[in-house]
Amino acid sequence: LASGQPFSIPANVRILGTMNTADRSIALVDFALRRRFAFLAVPPNFDALRHYHAQQAPAFPVETLIALLERVNTAIEDPHFALGQSFFLRPHLAAELEDIWRTEIEPYLEEYFFDQPEMVEAFRWERVQRSLMTSR
C-alpha cells in the first residue's frame, strides 16, 4: 500500500474467478494460472435449469429444450465448448427464447462449426423452433 502498511486477505475470504477454457488464444496465460491456483470445472447442469423454471410462474417446460441442448452438445463433442444453462435462466424464457437462440446460440454455433455449415443449419431456429414451441 502507498502508506507502507501491509495488505493481507483474511483466511476466511476466497477469491473466485472465471476462465473460458475454450479460448485457445490464452493458452499460455491459462497454463501460468493453472500452476498458481486451484481450478474447479463447472460443466452444464440441466438440473439447475429444471429447478429454476419449476420456481417460475408459469413454469417453462424445459425438458424439450434440455433434450435439444444435449443434442447440440453431442454434436459439439468437446465439453470445453458445451452449451450450458446460463443462456436460459430467464424468468420469461418463452418470450425470449427465439431472440436468445438467434442472437446468442446461432452465432456461437457458427463460430464453432465454421467449417461445417451443415451442422449450423441443423440447429438454426427455423429447424428447432417447432419442437421447442410445441412442447409448451
Give the C-alpha separation, 66 to 7, whole Å. Answer: 46
The Cα-based distances of 135 to 30, 120, 128 in angstroms read: 41, 23, 12
Instruction: Quote the pTM value.
Output: 0.79
Percent of the chain at pLDDT > 70 equals 91
Residue 46: closest CA among 78, 76, 21, 71: 71
**Mean pLDDT, residues 85-91 taken together:** 95
pLDDT one-digit tens code per residue, 45-79: 999 999 999 998 887 889 999 999 999 999 999 99
